[in-house]
Structure 1
Amino acid sequence: MVHTVTLLTREGCGSCVRVHDQLVPLCADAGARLETTDVDRAADRELAIEFGDRLPVVLVDGAEHSVWEVDDDELVATLAEAEPFAGWD
């Protein structure tokens, strides 16, 4: 399965840039698709309402995986799973 990692960001967010740079090699190594969505420019205005005060947020397969910081080992393990990520229980 090819996982999709979506980084929710906003312009001027230094932490968002740092996490993006962290995600690029992790996603490449795992064969995952990396997308970036600026919550302030997204067609879905609900993204800014839901996530705007706690960026950066990492979604895997549409489910929230990480907020503010990314644990490399956790993300690598998630991307190694054959099933879509459904969020933390």
Structure 2
Amino acid sequence: MAGWESSARVSVVGRQGCHLCDVALEIVRRVAAETGADVEVVDIDEHPDLLARYADEIPVTFVDGAQHDYWRVDEGRLRAALS
């Protein structure tokens, strides 16, 4: 993705005031704490390229730079991806 690179193991792309983003971030932070993964939160409104691509899919989660989930985070699937 042009204009955005992450060094974190898990990235959550979302926006302020997004209830699904808050829920996804809670799950991601819990699993990351258990697995020792780094988490990055990316505000989609600060990245026009992300906004153009993912506006209708937030929150979007990435693991090791690859898209993992959107709208909802499957906790078991995330845990498996991080193990």
Bin of the TM-score, shorter chain as denominator length: 0.7 to 0.9
Q: Deviations over 1:13-37 (max 9, x none)?
A: 1110111111111001111001000
Please name the residue that 2:63 is paired with.
60
Larger Rg: 1
Match of residue 77 from structure 2: 74
Size of the aligned set, in residue pairs, is 76
TM-score relative to the length of structure 1: 0.80
Task: Quote the offset at 1:67 in angstroms.
Answer: 0.7
Which whole-Å deviations, capped at 9, do the CAs of 1:54-77 have from their partners, x for residues lacking one? 100000111100011111111111
1:4 alignment partner in structure 2: 9
Give the partner amino acid of 2:20.
Answer: S
Structure holding more helix per residue: 2
Kindly report structure 1 stretches of 4+ aligned residues shifted beyond 6 Å: none
> Counterparts of 1:70 and 1:16 in 2: how far apart (Å)?
10
Residues 9-88 of structure 1 aligned to structure 2 (within 5 Å): 9-42=14-47, 45-80=48-83
How far apart are 1:49 and its partner, in Å? 0.5
- In structure 2, stretches of 5+ residues that fail to align are 1-7
Give the % identical residues.
34
1:47 shift after superposition? 0.6
Q: Provide structure 1 residue ranges, at least 5 long, that are not aligned to the other structure.
A: 81-89
